[in-house]
A and B are shown apart, each in its own frame.
Chain A
Amino acid sequence: MSQPQPRFDLTKIRADFPILSQTINRHPLVYLDNAASTQKPKPVIDAIRKVYEEDYSNVHRGVHTLSQRCTDLFESAREKVQTFLNAKHGHEIIFVRGTTEAINLVAQTYGRKNVGPGDEILITAMEHHSNIVPWQMLCEAAGAVLKVAPISGTGELLLDGFAALLSERTRLVSVTHMSNALGTINPVEQIIAMAHARGIPVLLDGAQSAPHMTVDVQALDCDFYAFSGHKLYGPSGIGVLYGKESLLKAMPAWQGGGDMIRRVTFEKTEYNELPYKFEAGTPNIADTIALGAAIDYVNAIGVDAIAEHEHHLLAYATERALQIPELTLIGTAPHKGAILSFTLDHIHPHDIGTLLDQLGIAIRAGHHCAMPVMDFFEVPATARASFGLYNTCEEVDVLMDGIRQVIKMFG
């Protein structure tokens, strides 16, 4: 297969990521664990340093110059996220720790208010634990029922099965936009249309989709969208919950504290307006600003160009993987993001992971926080190579050569 060149200068891009130019176990690092977390380019690292060296102060509080400057930087990161997701309003962007916290926020505010005994939450069989457990906790507290839409042997959502589980008791649909264990990209347009036809709001877990495809929350018409900065070449500890204004306004506050209030007396507290109502306490200031820098970085390359490059990598890796008879791909949906989950005959993924690491290759081995997916495919774990914007076809070759060495070693 010919290897199409990306629309950006890969050599130059790789030089932006200082961590990539090292050796691991005496081999050049081949970092293929991007679905777990991505590496950070210099502009992101520099943004963090610049905040602390030049602009740092608490935000939204002081009248002094630094406080104003830092607040401006912080709020401009919100605008960048708004544009990135094409949200209608800046105040629909809530800063949280990550996808996990975003989903918990919705479960504990929207959920607590709107979900009662006998009501239902609908998810799918390919969710990350962070889109399962918050709903189980809510259901347990509320006496509600968690419904799980089935998937096929290729790892695709069975839309008929999904439709059959939508009922007049469904209070919320929460699905992953792209599966971290399988790579499957869900037909979220259809899912949203089906749910909305019954007046049911939809939350999209965008942890995997935000870094790999253009997301337009208005065009999608999703009601909530969650993602993590650390998978988007930004810092860990910062993420986003997008919510439609009308829903966010009607939701009760979550954590109480500073910033989220307008007026406090011991008798009564008046909550602040959006988005501050959901941002209690001093936020993760520097990392939020650096998330803005990560979005600038990704935008400068172009999300579509990144998606195209990753698609080529996936196609090339899939083709090469299929030439290895001992290898089984887990997750073979036609519409997939750049995730290659696989098993090898008679070789446990943990052994694969340790052995590939000896060759400088970083992959993930395990259940990928999706134990129900492992149960469905009747495997204890899989090995997973996941690609990012800086990966190359040569790295795919190194991976495939490594896999062959592992097979040979196990005999």
Chain B
Amino acid sequence: MLDQIRDLYQEVVFDHNRNPRNFRVMEDANRKIEGFNPLCGDRITLYAKVIDGLIEDVSFQGSGCAISTASASLMTEIVKGQTEQEAEQLFELFHRITTGKNGDEVNLEALGKLAVLAGVRAYPARVKCATLAWHSLQSALKNDGETVSTE
């Protein structure tokens, strides 16, 4: 019945939704940003410690759907230890894949662990859930310190 949607709601997604990684307030963060998805009311607070262009630590807090929570959780795992530039490039790829047309060529391998979320492209109404954390990270890295919204 609900099996068809396992392409999006994979075990990994449920796992990260149930036990989000890096789900904490970061006291010594030097970047902090509030993300907001006005469509569903999801809120995320993203913390990062960026030193010399290196993302030394990243964490988040907030409430959201399984897709946005899992996406944020996966993101923090992946970008920790990356340079700002690497994170930026990964987001670009992720964004392209999640918003792309279904027929587009996708290089899932380059996405690594993030590939589990690629299925969201078949559910356009939910793409913003998957990208909220990334938009927030992007703003945090730019350090423009405002609330970001997915609109």
A residues with CB within 8 A of B = 25, 347-351, 354-355, 358-359, 365-367, 371, 374, 380-381, 405-406, 409-411
Given known A349-B40, A350-B126, A366-B41, contact A380–B64 (CB-CB < 8 A): yes
Given known A348-B65, A348-B66, A354-B125, contact A381–B2 (CB-CB < 8 A): no
Contacts of B8 in A (CB 8 A): 354
Min CB gap A212→B, angstroms: 26
A354 touches B41 (CB 8 A): no
CB contact between B123 and one of A348, A354, A366, A411 (< 8 Å): that residue:
A354
Contacts of B42 in A (CB 8 A): 348, 350, 380
A351 touches B39 (CB 8 A): no
Interface presence of B63 (CB below 8 A)? yes
Given known A409-B9, A410-B14, contact A350–B2 (CB-CB < 8 A): no
B residues with CB within 8 A of A = 1-2, 4-5, 8-9, 14, 39-43, 63-67, 123, 125-126, 129
Given known A351-B66, A381-B40, A381-B41, contact A411–B14 (CB-CB < 8 A): yes
Contacts of A366 in B (CB 8 A): 39-41
Given known A350-B129, A358-B2, A410-B14, contact A380–B40 (CB-CB < 8 A): yes
Q: In the docked arrangement, what's the CA distance between A333 and B7, Å?
A: 40
Min CB gap B69→A, angstroms: 8
Given known A351-B66, A351-B67, contact A367–B41 (CB-CB < 8 A): yes
Chain A interface helix/strand/loop/mixed: helix
Query: Can you give 22 contacting A-B residue pairs, CB < 8 Å?
Result: A348-B63, A348-B65, A348-B66, A349-B40, A349-B65, A350-B40, A350-B42, A350-B126, A355-B5, A358-B1, A358-B2, A358-B4, A359-B1, A359-B2, A366-B39, A366-B41, A367-B40, A367-B41, A380-B43, A380-B63, A381-B40, A405-B1
Min CB gap B65→A, angstroms: 4
Min CB gap A34→B, angstroms: 19
Given known A354-B125, A367-B40, A380-B43, contact A409–B67 (CB-CB < 8 A): no
Given known A366-B40, A367-B41, A374-B41, contact A354–B126 (CB-CB < 8 A): yes
Q: Which of A350, A358, A366, A367 has the most CB of B within 10 A?
A: A350
B43 touches A355 (CB 8 A): no
A354 touches B5 (CB 8 A): yes
Min CB gap B2→A, angstroms: 5
Q: In the docked arrangement, what's the CA distance between A391 and B63, Å?
A: 33
B2 touches A406 (CB 8 A): yes
Q: Sorted from nearest, which 5 A-B pairs have the closest CB atoms?
A: A348-B65, A380-B41, A350-B65, A381-B41, A351-B66
Contacts of A351 in B (CB 8 A): 9, 65-67
Q: In the docked arrangement, what's the CA distance between A49 and B2, Å?
A: 39
Min CB gap A197→B, angstroms: 38
CB contact between A371 and one of B5, B41, B63 (< 8 Å): that residue:
B41
Q: Nearest B residue to A409 by beta-carbon distance? A: B2
Min CB gap B41→A, angstroms: 4
Contacts of B63 in A (CB 8 A): 348, 380
Q: In the docked arrangement, what's the CA distance between A411 and B2, Å?
A: 13
Contacts of B9 in A (CB 8 A): 351, 355, 409
Min CB gap B131→A, angstroms: 14
Min CB gap A169→B, angstroms: 33
Contacts of A409 in B (CB 8 A): 2, 9
Min CB gap A295→B, angstroms: 33
Q: In the docked arrangement, what's the CA distance between A355 and B129, Å?
A: 15
Min CB gap A181→B, angstroms: 12
Contacts of B4 in A (CB 8 A): 25, 358
A355 touches B39 (CB 8 A): no
Contacts of A367 in B (CB 8 A): 40-41
Min CB gap A405→B, angstroms: 6
Min CB gap A326→B, angstroms: 15
Contacts of A365 in B (CB 8 A): 40
Min CB gap A399→B, angstroms: 14
Contacts of A371 in B (CB 8 A): 41
Q: In the docked arrangement, what's the CA distance between A121 and B138, Å?
A: 41
Q: In the docked arrangement, what's the CA distance between A406 and B39, Å?
A: 21
Min CB gap B55→A, angstroms: 27
Contacts of B125 in A (CB 8 A): 354
Contacts of B39 in A (CB 8 A): 366
Given pairs A348-B63, A354-B125, 10 additional interface contacts (CB within 8 A): A348-B64, A350-B129, A351-B65, A351-B66, A354-B8, A358-B1, A380-B42, A406-B2, A409-B9, A410-B14
